[in-house]
């Protein structure tokens, strides 16, 4: 399973509700694949392309209101081929998203302001940064519809769990990254953002290296993230920070 889907499965299983978002395809006692049909659609651990097709058609039968299809690249693109006729028109297809894992960073980058785990009292500063990140990265406004109440609750939850890391310049938050998913010994970083006024100053790599080391200390020994292949600036920064390729994902956004 992917880290995000696995973390969600664990959360729902603890509440006795895993069947609300996960469907298992079997042949006898053999597992053929798992479908996550939550906010996003994803096929996990398929034994074959036939399993991907069956689970993708089941995903369509359940709903056509997914915000995205996201999975390992080959799986995601096959899902999209099966599901596209029954889905709304896609906003964007991000077909190459390298999956990276932190190993060790170089020490030659300039030292940043100290990265720290944000607290709930930082919500009024963190929330605007989170909204700016979402608008820039996803291309939609998380405040649309409910005025941002749902997204604000998500940001506040991460703060309570001490899973949002920030760097400040005085009172101004200039960097933010979230530990968006945690499963077993793997943590996945989401929502990386740097204040536009502080970009191009060589801060991204040291900020990310310090964040990865704090996550290792506080949460899990393995730290991963994925990045769009066209974002060359971010890819160079992650490489300088010590992140290395371990796979590739793809995402179809609606």
CATH number of the CATH domain containing 228: 3.40.630.30
pLDDT at 85: 92
Residues 85 and 120 in one domain: no
pLDDT at 8: 84
| Maximum alpha-carbon separation in the chain | 61
Say whether 98 sits in a helix, a strand or coil: strand
CATH number of the CATH domain containing 15: 3.40.630
Residues 122 and 236 in one domain: yes
Residues 148 and 237 in one domain: yes
Whether 97 maps to a domain, the answer reads: no
Whether 98 maps to a domain, the answer reads: no
What is the DSSP code string of 6-65? HHHHHHHHHTT-GGGTEEEEEETTEEEEEEEESSEEEEES-SSHHHHHHHHHHHHHH-S-
Whether 120 maps to a domain, the answer reads: yes
pLDDT of 244 > 70? The answer is yes
Whether 95 maps to a domain, the answer reads: no
Structural domain boundaries, residue 11:
3-89
Residues 140 and 240 in one domain: yes
Residues 241 and 187 in one domain: yes
The distance of Cα 205 from the centroid of its chain, to the nearest Å, equals: 19
Residues 46 and 124 in one domain: no
Looking up tokens 């974002």, which residue turns up?
A: 231
Could you read off the pLDDT of 194-233 as tens digits, one per residue?
999 999 999 999 999 999 999 999 999 999 999 999 999 9
Looking up tokens 């970083």, which residue turns up?
A: 189
Residues 65 and 120 in one domain: no
Q: How far is CA 152 from CA 71, 187, 200, in A?
A: 26, 22, 29
Cα atoms in the Cβ-side hemisphere of radius 13 Å centred on 133: 19
Strand 40-44: give its sheet, edge to edge. 22-27, 30-37, 40-44, 68-72, 243-253, 92-102, 222-226, 186-194, 172-183, 164-169, 116-117
pLDDT of 1 > 60? The answer is no
Whether 101 maps to a domain, the answer reads: no
pLDDT of 106 > 70? The answer is no
What the block records as the tokens of 45 is 């651990």
Residues 131 and 220 in one domain: yes
Last residue of a domain, one of 73, 89, 105: 89
Residues 42 and 140 in one domain: no
Last residue of a domain, one of 89, 104, 134: 89
Whether 146 maps to a domain, the answer reads: yes
Single pTM value for the model: 0.87
What the block records as the tokens of 247 is 């796979």
Mean pLDDT along residues 105-132: 83
Whether 108 maps to a domain, the answer reads: no
Tally of domains within the chain: 2
Residues 241 and 122 in one domain: yes
Instruction: Give the model's confidence band at 6: pLDDT under 50 very low, under 70 low, under 90 confident, else very high.
Output: confident
Say whether 236 sits in a helix, a strand or coil: helix
Could you read off the pLDDT of 19-61 as tens digits, one per residue?
789 999 999 999 999 999 998 999 999 999 999 999 999 999 9
Residues 83 and 189 in one domain: no
Residues 129 and 77 in one domain: no
Residues of the chain with pLDDT > 90, as a percent, come to 84
Whether 48 maps to a domain, the answer reads: yes
């Amino acid at each position: 399973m992917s880290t995000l889907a696995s973390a969600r499965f664990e959360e729902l299983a603890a509440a006795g509700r895993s069947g609300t978002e996960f469907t298992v395809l079997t042949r006898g006692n053999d597992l053929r694949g798992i479908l996550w049909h939550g906010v996003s659609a994803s096929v996990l651990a398929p034994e074959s392309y036939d399993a991907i097709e069956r689970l993708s058609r089941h995903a369509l039968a359940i709903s056509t209101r997914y915000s995205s299809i996201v999975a390992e690249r080959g799986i995601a693109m096959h899902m999209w081929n099966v599901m596209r006729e029954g889905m709304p028109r896609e906003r964007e297809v991000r077909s190459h998203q390298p999956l990276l894992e932190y190993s060790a960073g170089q020490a030659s980058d300039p030292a940043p302001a100290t990265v720290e785990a944000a607290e709930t009292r930082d919500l009024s500063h963190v929330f605007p940064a989170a909204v700016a990140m979402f608008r820039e990265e996803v291309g939609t406004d998380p405040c649309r519809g409910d005025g941002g109440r749902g997204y604000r609750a998500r940001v506040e939850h991460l703060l309570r769990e001490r899973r949002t890391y920030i760097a400040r310049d005085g009172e101004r938050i200039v960097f933010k990254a979230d530990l968006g998913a945690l499963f077993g010994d793997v943590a996945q970083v989401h929502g990386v953002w740097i204040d536009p006024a502080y970009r191009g100053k060589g801060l991204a790599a040291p900020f990310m290296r310090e964040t990865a080391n704090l996550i290792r200390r506080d949460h899990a020994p393995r730290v991963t993230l994925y990045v769009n292949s066209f974002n060359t600036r971010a890819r160079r920064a992650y490489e300088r920070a010590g992140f290395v390729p371990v796979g590739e994902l793809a995402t179809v956004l609606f």
